[in-house]
């Protein structure tokens, strides 16, 4: 059922809504006279994307802001010790979940009652219809649990990768310029503006350098460190017997760091994934930011589409600079993110600045 939520047809219908959420967010960032905490704002962005796009909820902005604060409290206490005492993290997490589910139940009921004006089937619509197709009417509790799971899946890891993307574009302006050149050569970017109707799923899929940039962000800054699997059949690895039924953990980060196929593993180099090099081509599990095998992440195509849409908007309609003297250190828990959240100042683009960007594209076309 969940696989339908991330099908090609579903992603095509989500794309215009994703673009709108990203555009509105970047406009708000640019109108802020102060620098922003990118990681915190990226969390708000991915939460808003899940609520507005995946679930199709029409929650007012003020109420959405309150729901986000409650959701953050829930997430912060997910991994707390299961000790149910007053003022414990566990108790705070349980209370936050109860508050969340009340808000979600209200939004679900309003959605079920108001089906007019819909121009696409969102993830919750697909979930409900798939239940009916299988002869099972989903209960309100099942809908709330499914809704919360979708938000959780779309939230932390995508916010982490979005922050890493912005930081690498700041660190490597030539990468940003090369992205603009590709957008211009494909007829997507003209005179510093995105051509109307040019961003479709097939067009985005044809942007090979953009794909390399996103792949390299996810290689070097994989949001989570690894995953767990259960051993289905006893096997031997390097002289050690691993019994059936045991749990094993594989490390995504160590795989990306130690796989002999990656040259200069600590260097941000999108060109390593160009067709001429394709450093990951010879190994099925040399590159696995979304896991691998039959249990690979179901939402990986949505995550990559979101990151590509964000990169396109950043390259086309935004000007931004680091607001601190040095780049922050990176911490790996609970997901990869800058220690101080990455302070960045965004600027709005007027027509003159658009012309400057267009001129930069033209010069780049003659020099790359």
- For the annotated binding site for heme, the residues are 297
Instruction: Give kind and range of the element (H or E) at residue 247.
Output: strand 247-251
Length of the chain: 368
50 φψ region: left (φ > 0), alpha (ψ -120 to 50), beta (else): alpha
Phi and psi (nearest 5°) for 225? -80, -25
Answer yes or no: are the C-beta atoms of 42 and 303 closer than 8 Å: no
Answer yes or no: are the C-beta atoms of 172 and 359 closer than 8 Å: no
| CA-closest candidate to residue 316, choices 304, 308, 324 | 308
Binding residues: 297
Q: Around Cβ 44, how many Cβ atoms within 10 Å?
A: 16
Say how far apart CA 16 and CA 313 lie, in whole Å: 13
Would you state the structure tokens that stand for residue 9, as one six-digit string? 């047809």
| CA-closest candidate to residue 67, choices 182, 5, 151 | 151
Q: Is 81 helix (H, G, I), strand (E, B) or coil?
A: coil
List, as one string, the DSSP characters of 178-247. Answer: HHHHHHHHTTSEETTEEPTT---HHHHHT-HHHHHHHHHHHHHT-SS-EEEEE-SS-EEETTEEE-TT-E
CA 53 to centroid of chain Cα atoms: 13
The β-bridge relationship of strands 319-322 and 343-347 is antiparallel
Answer yes or no: are the C-beta atoms of 274 and 129 closer than 8 Å: no
């Amino acid at each position: 059922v969940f696989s339908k939520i991330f099908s090609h047809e579903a992603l095509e219908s989500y794309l215009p809504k994703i673009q709108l959420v990203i555009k509105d967010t970047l406009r708000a960032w640019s109108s802020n006279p102060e620098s922003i905490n990118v990681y915190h704002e990226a969390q708000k962005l991915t939460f808003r994307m899940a609520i507005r796009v995946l679930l199709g909820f029409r929650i007012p902005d003020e109420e959405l802001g309150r729901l986000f604060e409650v959701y953050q409290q829930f997430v912060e206490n997910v991994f707390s010790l299961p000790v149910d005492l007053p003022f414990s993290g566990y108790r705070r997490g349980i209370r936050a979940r109860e508050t969340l589910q009340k808000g979600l139940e209200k939004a679900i009921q309003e959605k079920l009652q108001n089906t007019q004006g819909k121009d696409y089937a969102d993830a919750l619509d697909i979930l409900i219809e798939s239940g009916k197709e299988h002869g099972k009417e989903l209960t309100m509790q099942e809908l709330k649990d499914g809704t919360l799971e979708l938000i959780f899946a779309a939230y932390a890891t995508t916010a982490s990768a979005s922050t890493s993307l912005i930081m690498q574009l700041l660190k490597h302006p030539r990468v940003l310029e090369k992205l603009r050149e590709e957008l211009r050569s494909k007829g997507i970017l003209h005179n510093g503006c995105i051509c109307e109707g040019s961003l479709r799923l097939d067009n985005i899929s044809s942007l090979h350098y953009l794909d390399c940039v996103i792949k390299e962000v996810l290689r070097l800054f994989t949001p989570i460190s690894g995953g767990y699997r259960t051993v289905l059949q006893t096997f031997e690895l390097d002289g050690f017997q691993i019994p059936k039924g045991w749990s094993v953990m594989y490390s995504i980060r160590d795989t990306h760091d130690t796989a002999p196929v990656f040259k200069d593993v600590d260097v941000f180099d999108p060109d390593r994934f160009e067709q001429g090099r394709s450093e990951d081509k010879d190994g099925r599990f040399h590159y696995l930011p979304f896991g691998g095998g039959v249990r690979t992440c179901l939402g990986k195509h949505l995550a990559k589409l979101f990151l590509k849409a964000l990169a396109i908007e950043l390259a086309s309609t935004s000007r931004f600079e680091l607001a601190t003297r040095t780049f922050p250190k990176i911490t790996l828990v609970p997901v990869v993110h800058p220690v101080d959240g990455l302070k960045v100042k965004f600027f709005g683009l007027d027509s003159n600045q658009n012309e400057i960007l267009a001129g930069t594209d033209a010069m780049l076309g003659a020099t790359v």
